[in-house]
Chain A
Amino acid sequence: MHLLVCAGTGCHSSQSDLVYEMLRDEVQRKRLEGEVQIIRTGCFGFCEKGPIVKVLPDNTFYTQVKPSDAREIIDEHLIKGRRVERLLYLDPETEEHVLDSKHMGFYKKQLRIALRNCGTIDPENIDESIARNAYQALGKVITEYTPEETINLIKRSGLRGRGGAGFPTGLKWEIASRNDADQKYVVCNADEGDPGAFMDRSILEGDPHSVLEAMAICGYCIGATKGLIYIRAEYPLAIRRLKVAIAQAREYGLLGEQLFGSSFSFDISLKYGAGAFVCGEETALIHSMEGKRGEPANKPPFPAQSGYLGKPTNVNNVETLANIPVIILKGAEWFSSIGTEKSKGTKVFALAGKINNVGLIEVPMGITLREIIYEIGGGIKNNKKFKAVQTGGPSGGCLTEKHLDTPIDYESLTAAGSMMGSGGMIVLDEDDCMVSVAKFYLDFIVEESCGRCAPCRIGNKRLYETLEQICNGKGTAEDLEKLNNLSNVIKDTSLCGLGQTSPNPVLSTLNNFLEEYKEHVFDKKCRSGKCKNLLYYVIDDEDCVGCMACVRVCPVNAITGAKKLTHYIHQEKCIKCGACMEKCQFDAISLLNDYPRVTPAMVDA
């Protein structure tokens, strides 16, 4: 028999280590070591009801176990074979105790559709994919459905683009299918560029065939025979696995001429991107594939009318495509039964930042941020206080405490001043400075702006400079207003999606954390201590022995003092090099994040 004790951070903070020890002691006392093993495990994803103890092989799932419950579990369950009822999970709907964790799948907040094969199959062996239904959907649409029927099925499913904007996928296909041309293209956008996002990379590395199959299905629907995957050269492993997958699919006759004995032919090749963020925008992406500069163009014409090499082109994101085969096999109604009214299905998120269970998750639309952070994510690292989640990358915004219980979908995130984006979720805690966070994203945008239109090229640079001034303690009240106005101008006048959304991190932090901006500007204070120039070196009167060591080491003569008298640091001269603090042997120098207003009575004796 095995007792599994959750040692994830959430359960750990509610004394699961003590539960573990008590169980172990009790087992030793009863001399059961031979038959019972007690094991520490990772997070069960049910931190709300921790600490969790699971008994194998009967799958009993005890919740909120206290150290004092250990003896009862051993005596009753292990020795007498009777489950400890009061520790079983109480189903809130039926108000019955759940005996077997097999019946409590509902506690698992995650549902893997796009990630269905990731971490399950060998991505370099097509047989394993086929065993898990790969290419069945392609075979089905080619032999049983017309392109129109397939498009209608996708439309009915309610699937929307997972790259961030959320355009209905079926509609996109329909538009591309209606434009007649001698050649059309299906493009997979694998130019994942948001900082902290790795959903698409993981899908391509873990399950490349699902994307290849979906591209062929799209080709069948819109009448394209060629597929192109635009992938950044920074993803060498994903590229290698795609190449292997394409070669294997060709060998099996699942890509190439006359698929499934029909007249439909489809083949896929790769195009490499150099990793420019703007190339995730579909028109810029197409330019880059054509060998031109990766700059966006005005729409219309949309790629569905005139795209790659001037031909009708349908561009879909990796995750969008990974959903397609399942929708076809399991049906539009099944898919649209998951999620919210306007956002169907699931979304993959890359959880990063100050969260315990950093990782890749897939959750049904409509889940709340609280469930993601505190249950799946296991809460904030080191029990710090939650401050915000940055979603949607540099184009997105911050969601704060007041958004924790908002069901997540495309509309609700936009209404909250952020966006779905591609799915990067960076969790910030009380130690993060929101002005610095906004500055970080603007720095990224300035680097990645293609320079084509002035608002984005020049405006974002000015935004960045203003933020830098504020972080350096040189901000003014006008700066705050300027940030707001300039952001709105950039939003309204930029050419492409990158510029139109680039000020979002600024606007959203201004909206939610104006207090912090004001502190930087008026009090010259950074509450989290992240802005170096708003930290102050001060000498403690009581600890300073007057040894002159700091006076001598200060490179800018900012410290005055005489032997055996308390020294003093002149803040206006200090360049915050930290040399004095390093030199002091009496720990008399400390860093404050508030401007020291008390002037010592005696400075120069």
Chain B
Amino acid sequence: MMEKRTGIKTLADLKRIQEEVSRRIGLRDKAENPESLVQVKVAMATCGIASGAKEVMEYLVLELDKRGIDAVVTQTGCMGYCFAEPTVEITLPGREPMVFGDVNPKRADEIIERYIKNGELVDGIIPQNYNTIES
């Protein structure tokens, strides 16, 4: 994922890299990038791992690959929804991110088949209940 890079010497260097990586990661401009991949983020802080996030992540990586779905699965930190761990956030190209709670391999299967493949929502969505500094 990370490219070998040395020596950020100026603020302009940093900004250039920022633009480059933002484009690549597509954190901001998903909408302008309709062909970009399905992004899957698994909350992998201690709380998530303790409730089985590792198994879910392995399952997702393996199954998405097996079923031929072009997706990037990454880990992330605690989303704050400890009452519903493991939590997984899925961003379909051009759509708002969706967080699913209490995900186990069985639910992950349902999410792949119904949400990722067909865009149908499934039970157990966790609505975003906070504002961020960007909003």
Contact = CB atoms under 8 A, between A and B. Distances in A.
A39 B121 contact: yes
Given A42-B101, A253-B7, A260-B8, A125 B2 contact: yes
A406 B124 CA distance: 34
Interface string B59-86: 0000000000000001111111111100
B133 A44 contact: no
Interface in B1-38: 1-11, 14-15, 17-18, 21-22, 24-25, 27-28
Contacts of B84: 42
A136 B124 CA distance: 37
Nearest to A135: B14
Contact of A42 (B41, B43, B81): B81
Contact of A252 (B5, B28, B135): B5
A118 B77 contact: yes
A112 B131 contact: yes
Interface in B84-135: 84, 87, 89, 101, 120-133, 135
Contacts of A316: none
A127 B11 contact: no
A122 B8 contact: no
Interface string A181-214: 0000000000000000010011101110000000
A120 B41 CA distance: 8
B127 A44 contact: yes
B8 A252 contact: yes
Nearest to A59: B96
Contact of A330 (B8, B47, B133): B133
Contacts of B125: 4, 39, 41-42
Given A130-B21, A131-B27, A252-B5, A112 B133 contact: yes
B21 A105 contact: no
Contact of B78 (A2, A46, A360): A360
A426 interface: no
Contacts of A555: none
Contacts of B131: 105, 108, 110-112
A140 B11 contact: yes
A130 B133 contact: no
Contacts of A157: none
Q: How large is the interface on A (under 10, 10 to 19, 20 to 34, 35 or more residues)?
A: 35 or more
B5 A251 contact: yes
A112 B135 CA distance: 10
A278 interface: no
B9 A40 contact: no
B14 to A, nearest CB: 5
Nearest to B27: A131
Interface string A123-144: 1111110111101100110010
Contacts of A140: 11
A123 B74 CA distance: 10
Interface in A135-194: 135-136, 139-140, 143
Contact of B9 (A54, A120, A261): A261
A108 B77 contact: no
A557 interface: no
Given A42-B126, A136-B18, A253-B6, A359 B121 contact: no
B127 A41 contact: yes
B111 to A, nearest CB: 12
Given A37-B121, A261-B9, A326-B133, A115 B76 contact: no
A60 interface: no
Contacts of A113: 133
Contacts of B3: 127
A287 to B, nearest CB: 28
Highest count of chain B CB atoms <10 Å: which of A37, A136, A252: A252
B76 A119 contact: yes
Interface in A222-247: 235, 237-238
Given A105-B131, A201-B46, A361 B80 contact: yes
A194 B10 CA distance: 41
A251 B6 contact: yes
Given A39-B122, A42-B125, A128-B27, A110 B81 contact: no
Nearest to A360: B80
Given A39-B123, A42-B101, A127-B1, A359 B133 contact: no
Interface string A245-272: 0001001111000001100000000000
A105 B135 CA distance: 9
The 9 closest A-B pairs by CB, nearest first: A206-B77, A45-B129, A119-B79, A110-B130, A42-B126, A139-B11, A360-B80, A359-B82, A127-B21
18 contacts: A43-B126, A46-B129, A54-B127, A111-B130, A116-B133, A119-B41, A119-B78, A120-B41, A130-B21, A139-B10, A139-B11, A143-B10, A202-B47, A252-B7, A252-B8, A260-B8, A357-B81, A357-B83
Interface of A: 2, 4, 6-7, 37, 39-46, 54, 56, 105, 108-113, 115-128, 130-133, 135-136, 139-140, 143, 198, 201-203, 205-207, 235, 237-238, 248, 251-254, 260-261, 326, 330, 356-362, 376
